[in-house]
Structure 1
Amino acid sequence: MAKYAVICASNQNRSMEAHHVLNFRTNIKTSKKGFNVKSYGTGSMVRLPGPSIDKPNIYPFGTPYEKVYQELKSQDQQLYTQNGLLSMLDRNRKTKEAPQRWHESRELFDVIITCEERCFDSVVEDLSNRGQNLNESTHVINVEIKDNHEDALLGGRAILQLAQMIESSNDIDADMDGIIEEFTLRNPGFPILHTVAYF
């Protein structure tokens, strides 16, 4: 099984929806657990909507989802229930402890799926800056997903489909172009970028 990273800006919405879907995808017939997946953000801080556009809630990476959930709930439960933040954080805290920053991780992955072009650029640049000393290749794929709850749900399903297609390949290096072509035909609403990078 390939090892996956899913990445957005704050490791809160899009990457966590994909992480949740991939993590808990079980096959009843084989009782096989979900995919081997971790999730990250590429931002400098975690940014969440606040009471107004110019007052976002900002947290350092590593702040537990549980802590953010309780803080926002005590600040304005009605607002953060209405805008979906509390249900998003509830999902997150059931998936893993806290948001992680990509640039601080030193794990290797076979496939890295980003959810936004600037996150894709940030990951590719970071891998290049690391010096590629291990000479281990990875496929970096961007599935462009708007940062809202509805699109994150659809994007999570699309990423699950992409991962299933990758898993059905015996040679992802040889088959990746064909997999991406087929995925794009099936999911015209999700533009794709792809490159091979090295750890």
Structure 2
Amino acid sequence: MYKELESKDPRLYKNNGILNMLGRNRDVKWGPERWQDWQVGVPRLQHAKDRGSEGTEAGLVDVVITCEERCWDAVIDDLLNRGSPLNRPVHVINVDIKDNHEEAAVGGQGILDLATSLNKAAQEERDAIGASAFDAAGAASRSGFDERVPEILGEWQERWPNLPAVWTLAWF
């Protein structure tokens, strides 16, 4: 998209901020990602499977963060329609961000803070139970983490009161 818009009218798309936003997004992700196209439990990218990666690249996630309530609704609907084939919990969080450069920059910092807090809690739970207590899906580490998410979100919301957020627990 960036190259196409740049070739059409670079001045227009620079002045209205579209090229800046697309340029920023190119640094964040490899390309457009459609949740609906992702098969739970299946690696998104072949090289992730070859490297033995965990997380999204291996087909599993513990948390999904969206930035528009309609996207949050779509993810939840999709998870319900899939019928939770892995019977694995997933926290679905929406941080409502208007799609403009200024609010995206602030929202991005807020989401980074939230992700850092969630990762820290997950690591603390793993450290507390020890690596030997995990099964292949990491199920033993989940209960303590899952119980902490509402508290983490509450503390985060106090730090970021201008970023409205909603959360639900869904299932793969």
Q: What TM-score range do you get, normalising by the shorter chain?
A: 0.7 to 0.9
TM-score normalised by structure 2 residue count: 0.72
Residues 1:160 and 2:112 are matched in the alignment: yes
Q: Which residue is equivalent to 2:94?
A: 142
Of 122, 128, 145 in structure 1, the residue corresponding to residue 74 of structure 2 is: 122
Higher strand share: 1
**One-letter code of the match for 1:88?**
M
The alignment covers a number of residue pairs equal to 132
User: Which whole-Å CA distance do the structure 1 matches of 2:167 and 2:29 have between them?
Assistant: 27
- Can you give the 5+ residue segments of structure 2 that lack an aligned partner in the other structure? 40-58, 126-143
Does 2:6 align with 1:73?
Answer: yes
Distance 2:82 2:6 in 1: 40
Report matched runs for 1:1-199 at 5 Å. 68-106=1-39, 107-169=59-121, 170=125, 171-199=144-172
Higher helix share: 2
Specify every segment of 5 or more residues in structure 1 that has no aligned partner in the other structure, as ranges. Answer: 1-67
2:65 maps to a residue whose letter is I
**Bigger mean CA deviation after superposition, 169-178 or 83-92:** 83-92
TM-fit CA distance, 1:144: 0.9
Identity rate of aligned residues, in percent? 49
Give, in angstroms, the shift of residue 100 of structure 1: 1.6
Aligned AA for 2:18? L
Say which SS state the counterpart of residue 9 (structure 2) adopts.
Answer: helix
Question: Bigger radius of gyration, 1 or 2?
Answer: 2
Structure 1 pair 85–123 and aligned structure 2 pair: CA distance change class (3 A): same
**1:98-143 C-alpha deviation (Å, 9 max, x unpaired):** 2121100123211001111111111000000001121011000111
